[in-house]
Structure 1
Amino acid sequence: MNVFITVMLIVNGCAFVFDFIFSLYLSFSKKIRQEKYYGSSRNFTTLLLLIPAMNEFATLKRDLPYLVKLHNQCKNFINLELVFIDDDSSDGTTELLDKWSHHANLHVIHRVKPNAQIGKGPALEYTVNQIIQMNYSLGKTLIGIIDADSHFDSDYLREVVATFQNSFYDLVQTRVDVYNTVDNLTIMQNFEFSIYNALLQMARTNWGSALASGNGQFVTLKMAKNVGWSSSLLEDCEFSLKGLLKGYYGTFLNTVSVKQEGVSNLRKLIRQRTRWCQGGLQCLKIYGGAIMKAKHLQTIVKTFIIFFLMVPYLSIIVVPSSIISVSVLIFYAFYRPLIGLAIIFTLLFTENLVNTLMIEKQWHESNLEPPKNRLIIFRIIFSFAFYRWVLAFIPYRAIIRQLKGNDSWVKTAHS
């Protein structure tokens, strides 16, 4: 028993040290920064904005007038066309989109069962195939993927287009922020997306390629055609991996963001993250070997991708080791209060320090205005520790689903 506890303490200690060093790397490395784009002069004339719209009646009824006006706001730098993907909606979305379909530069793609409602990937693949048949220029057309509940404007799209025009990338992933930060759950998601994921995406870009990350992803029509989407539960990651294997690379645009609605219901958040986690397991199984064998990919890119996809399996060991370590530390504090409390304080201080450093780094890189009340940082940091514990058991749920062969897709419900 003592040997087992010792091993668990060592495992947790290694995980803590790795997390600490990696956080410091993200915070202080001069290579983790917003990339500057130059050396290319491509000319893209059309941006097709794909908006999945399964049962989005309330959202679209509110936002359609604004979205339609975007065309005129963008016409001095790109021809913007909206493509709504109605995936056999049952809440009035189909009828609403049909009423707006007479507008120029607005297209509606209707899908019906049994081919509908089987995942975002198949819906995107079907839509892109329809677009290709419309004879858009592969070399001058961009594809954007934006969730129906997103908030963005013409300045956001201008920066995206400029990034493509002035670089050689075929994929641009923009920063994602959460706009409904009304409670700790949504505030934690905003920290996760706009701070940690943003720094991680800049690191990925420096290592060789950023990965598509759901909302706010843009690709050339050429890449969309040659790579394509499949039925993985993590379709954005799968698309990125397939793209890398075919020689397509991505960058991360940190200076602008698309704002989306956070999930305010814990049960629905767990369901969403389980789907994402299981999708990563699917990608590891299908593409892990090919990624490792790809001669054109840098070793650091391969290492990160495999490590990222293996996190659920690593969690099987790290999560129980963390529980055992916390239990041992609390038990030890009862017998040696001064030493025990000193260790607890040191660990908490370290955790808070690295998170504060990451927040400060991201504010600097993204030109975000820090909050007037800096005490909100402490609220975020303390809450994030509990948030990570709440989500710690998701890998177990994902692995169990995977072992059972349950790969059903369920759309994220935000409230």
Structure 2
Amino acid sequence: MTASDSWILVVTGYAILLAWPVSTLALVSFAVRYVASHRSALVARSLEHGDGTPEHFWVIVPALNEEVVVGNTVNAALTLGGPGGTLARVLVVDDGSDDRTPEVLAAIDHPRLVVLRRELPEARQGKGEALNAAYRYIAERTAQAGVAPEKVVIGIIDGDGQGSRNILLEVSRMMRDPAIGAVQVQVRIRNRNKLLGAVQDLEFAAIVNACQSLRDTIDTVGLGGNGQFTRLSALLALGDAPWSACLVEDLELGLRMHLGGVGIRYTSRASVTQQAVVDLRRLTRQRTRWAQGNLQCARYLRRLVTSERIGVTSLLEMLHYLVSPWLNALVTVMLAGGVSAAAVGLAAGHPLPYLTSWEDLAISGEVWFAVTCFPGFVWALVHRYRLRDESLPRLLTAAVAYPIFLLLGLIATYRAIVRQARGQQSWAKTERLAEEPLAAPFALAA
């Protein structure tokens, strides 16, 4: 290998390493300077095509063995109100629970609560099928009542989720434009007093928030499994089963809506909180499921590329979102392979041209460590600047742990590839943590 080749390898390696912190700074700069003005412009244009403000709200709570959290989730959802004092109706899909979930739900006596119990063999076919059952129930009742489906919004709040008090008002504000068929709200973590919880809140409240805000400006917002709100009319356009059996049914629903020309917006003015997974093994399992679902959605790549509804910028962002986890995994293997080869060469007395001594290898390791840690500290400062509801020391501690969190993501990606190749689709449910009970809403509220 010539000296010129060595320098090319060195430059390429450092370029790959530095791409992440540079892109982080660019995203932070965008999120801080541009998002507010873009949101104002969206609101200003929201009535140009008529008033599509929704008038009826349903909140679906999918529940499978949620006895320790579902009571709080339902009671919180029953307090949510929209424009003009409109109150949400709550539909819990009990998907064949065999714990005390049915008893907990039976103890909540409220006129706006509906419990849809699914029994085997229909039950436990995945969250998507549970949501489809609830959707068909709501669509039937809406048609019977003679209500226009474009005036009906269906929200999804997971069994451990709790929406902010303004969530329906904010969704309504975003949906004044009738071209907007779905809204995704910000996700926060409640039990962030634990380190893994703090890291996950750093991920959702800072990183995901900035990414979704960027996507909002180029019409590529993705829907999440928790805190998504869609017009009934947009779901009806997708047929009898808008949610699929994909392991990330929310991601696939968002892709199908984009392909159908449905506008999706994101807002950080309202939020839904959820529990963090604070066990490393369970967290890795959760992220493996997400990665495998991302892999399953790769079948939409061809349709995205050939779609006439999606612009070039939007297409590139969607492709980046679908492909980047797998590129990151590949780049990590390449970098690890290069470092390993250099170490073996040094130990054998045959150093590689671009790492001629152990000192060079140590310097490269120091650079890698700094590059890996840098984004976490930046996002910790962004979190503190935006939200001011966590102490800086706690956020900086989460930033130190962030590289380990990323390593878990890479492990999950590799596991997902293996599971998908083997055709493995079954998953154990994520366990919940017990919480203090919330006060029940006024039972006679209509």
Task: Determine if the TM-score, normalized by the shorter chain, exceeds 0.5.
Answer: yes
1:57 aligns with 2:61: no
1:20 aligns with 2:45: no
Name the aligned partner's letter for residue 26 of structure 2.
Y
Aligned pairs for 1:328-367 (under 5 A) are 335=357, 337=359, 344-361=365-382, 364=385, 367=386
Aligned length: 407
Q: 1:387 aligns with which of 396, 405, 409?
A: 405
Give, in angstroms, the shift of residue 118 of structure 1: 1.4
For residues 79 and 404 of structure 1, what CA distance do their matches in structure 2 show?
46
1:164 aligns with 2:175: yes
For residues 47 and 329 of structure 1, what CA distance do their matches in structure 2 show?
60
Give, in angstroms, the shift of residue 243 of structure 1: 0.5
Q: 2:227 aligns with which of 216, 228, 233?
A: 216
Work out whether residues 291 and 413 of structure 2, in 8 Å CA contact, stay in contact via their aligned partners in 1. Answer: yes
Name the aligned partner's letter for residue 160 of structure 1.
V
> What TM-score do you get using the length of structure 1 for normalisation?
0.87
For residues 333 and 12 of structure 2, what CA distance do their matches in structure 1 show?
10
Q: 2:101 aligns with which of 93, 97, 102?
A: 93
Q: 1:125 to 1:198 in 2, by over 3 A?
A: same
For residues 7 and 263 of structure 1, what CA distance do their matches in structure 2 show?
43
Give, in angstroms, the shift of residue 238 of structure 1: 0.3
1:201 aligns with 2:212: yes
For residues 64 and 202 of structure 1, what CA distance do their matches in structure 2 show?
29
Name the aligned partner's letter for residue 368 of structure 1.
L
Q: Of the two, which has the highest radius of gyration? A: 2
For residues 249 and 126 of structure 2, what CA distance do their matches in structure 1 show?
8
For residues 316 and 408 of structure 1, what CA distance do their matches in structure 2 show?
23
Q: Aligned residue for 2:44?
A: 38
Partner deviation per Cα, 1:277-331 (whole Å, 9 max, x = no partner): 111111112x111011001201122122223222343244222223245557887
Q: Aligned residue for 1:78?
A: 86
Name the aligned partner's letter for residue 272 of structure 1.
Q
Q: Aligned residue for 2:429?
A: 411
For residues 144 and 288 of structure 1, what CA distance do their matches in structure 2 show?
27
Name the % identity. 24
1:123 aligns with 2:148: no
For residues 18 and 67 of structure 1, what CA distance do their matches in structure 2 show?
42
For residues 75 and 224 of structure 2, what CA distance do their matches in structure 1 show?
27
Q: 1:176 to 1:296 in 2, by over 3 A?
A: same
1:109 aligns with 2:116: yes
For residues 167 and 214 of structure 1, what CA distance do their matches in structure 2 show?
23
Name the aligned partner's letter for residue 187 of structure 1.
A
Q: Aligned residue for 1:402?
A: 420
Give the stretch that moved more between structures: 305-314 or 121-130. 305-314
For residues 123 and 425 of structure 2, what CA distance do their matches in structure 1 show?
16
For residues 370 and 187 of structure 2, what CA distance do their matches in structure 1 show?
28
> What TM-score do you get using the length of structure 2 for normalisation?
0.82
Structure 2: gaps of 5 or more residues: 434-446
Q: 1:152 to 1:340 in 2, by over 3 A?
A: same
Work out whether residues 45 and 78 of structure 1, in 8 Å CA contact, stay in contact via their aligned partners in 2. Answer: yes
Partner deviation per Cα, 1:148-188 (whole Å, 9 max, x = no partner): 21233422332222222367421111111111113322221
Give, in angstroms, the shift of residue 202 of structure 1: 0.7
What is the SS of the residue equivalent to 1:170?
A: strand
What is the SS of the residue equivalent to 1:107?
A: strand
For residues 279 and 247 of structure 1, what CA distance do their matches in structure 2 show?
23
Q: 1:306 aligns with which of 297, 312, 319?
A: 319
